[in-house]
Amino acid sequence: MDFPQPGQRITIRGLSGSGKTTLGDQLEEILAIPHTEMDALFWKENWGKPTDEEFFPKIEAITSKPKWILCGNYTRSRHLIDPYSDTLIWLDYPFSLVMSRLLRRTIFRGRKHQLLWGHCRESVWSGFAGKDAIIWYTIRYRKRLKQTLEPQFTNQQPGKIYLRFRSPSETEAWLKTISKSNPQGKI
């Protein structure tokens, strides 16, 4: 399979547990482009939610730079990201794979009360209980994500690179091609 090389302003989307952060970290290593998780920009201390006035300037500070990798699905901020992205990546993996990864991650983080982004602690309870619990959110959000990304990837804008990976092995094959073309690249 022939894969295009990525640009320098990369957006990674996919369900929670699909591997957005992992891919962002790998691309940062290979391409020497800074990677930011949108969750780190969004969540306030103790899972507080910001206003747009608090959230948007953080995104604009990143997208105003010449090189960046942003991973996340915050629909309300796409107008600040998509026009500036030159590469859009969709990790469109089977739901069963994503859910098994998400369950493992949620239980692991919850049992350890892992600190995320320096200011939020995950618990098993918060992963499974309440309307904002990541497990239930992902189940509900699945259809909406596909409905918003499918048209974007079908009606591609000229000059942008669109990469839709349907399996981790497909993503790995692409990473190997860009790693080979980048002399400092490592995986």
The verdict on residue 119 lying in a domain is no
User: What's the domain range around 79?
Assistant: 9-106+145-181
Q: Which two tokens stand for residue 176?
A: 């190997």
Domain count, the chain: 1
> At 132, is the pLDDT very low, low, confident or very high (cuts 50, 70, 90)?
confident
The verdict on residue 60 lying in a domain is yes
Q: State the Cα–Cα distance between residues 68 and 107, nearest whole angstrom.
A: 31
Q: For position 90, which CATH number holds?
A: 3.40.50.300
Residue 25 has pLDDT above 60, yes or no: yes
pLDDT of residue 182: 66
The verdict on residue 173 lying in a domain is yes
**pLDDT (average), residues 146-170:** 95
pLDDT of residue 174: 95
The verdict on residue 65 lying in a domain is yes
The verdict on residue 111 lying in a domain is no
pLDDT of residue 185: 47
Q: State the Cα–Cα distance between residues 27 and 20, nearest whole angstrom.
A: 10
The verdict on residue 53 lying in a domain is yes
Q: State the Cα–Cα distance between residues 63 and 10, nearest whole angstrom.
A: 10
Mean pLDDT of the chain: 91
pLDDT of residue 170: 96
Of 163 and 130, the structure prediction assigns the larger pLDDT to: 163
Residue 26 has pLDDT above 90, yes or no: yes
Residue 30 has pLDDT above 80, yes or no: yes
The verdict on residue 87 lying in a domain is yes
Could you give the 3-state DSSP secondary structure of residue 6? coil
> At 186, is the pLDDT very low, low, confident or very high (cuts 50, 70, 90)?
very low
The single residue listed with the structure tokens 């918003």 is 148
The verdict on residue 118 lying in a domain is no
pLDDT digits (tens, 9 = 90+) for 69-128: 999 999 999 999 999 999 999 999 999 999 999 999 889 888 888 778 777 888 887 788
pLDDT above 90 covers what percent of the chain?
Answer: 71
